[in-house]
Amino acid sequence: MIQTIYKLKAKVWLYPGVAPWHMVTLPKNQSDKIKQLFGDMHRGWSSLPVMVIIGKTTWKTSIFFDKKAGAYILPLKAEVRKKENISNGQAINFSIELSP
């Protein structure tokens, strides 16, 4: 059976630029498993659709494979950060579910 739900912990970081985004990088070992199982199903920019749960907040988004990091990254919407009181540099627990 293919694992589709991953419980993770990662540190929030700020993607630089004119309109910076808060991101988390999925741990390398889970990223490797996800890429192996679902990588062929990617969409544009090597994205995979996911359902994310942080605290009491659930939303649909995508994770993106970052070749430099060799791992997937997850963008965090401002609305989610505000609801869950998340800030840059904070380690957060979250779950993602992939839909094969």
First-to-last alpha carbon distance for the chain, in angstroms, is 12
Whose CA is closest to 41, among 6, 2, 95? 2
The reported pLDDT for the residue numbered 12 is: 98
Six-digit token string for 66 = 């970052």
Measured at the CA of 88, the angle between CA 39 and CA 12, to 5 degrees, comes to 25
Confidence class for position 3, pLDDT limits 50, 70, 90: low
**DSSP state, residue 17:** S
**Do the Cβ atoms of 89 and 14 come closer than 8 Å?**
no
> Where do the structural domains in the chain lie, given as residue ranges?
5-98
CATH topology of domain 5-98: Elongation Factor Tu (Ef-tu); domain 3 (2.40.30)
pLDDT per residue as tens digits for the range 14-67? 988 777 899 999 999 999 999 988 877 777 667 899 999 999 999 999 999 999
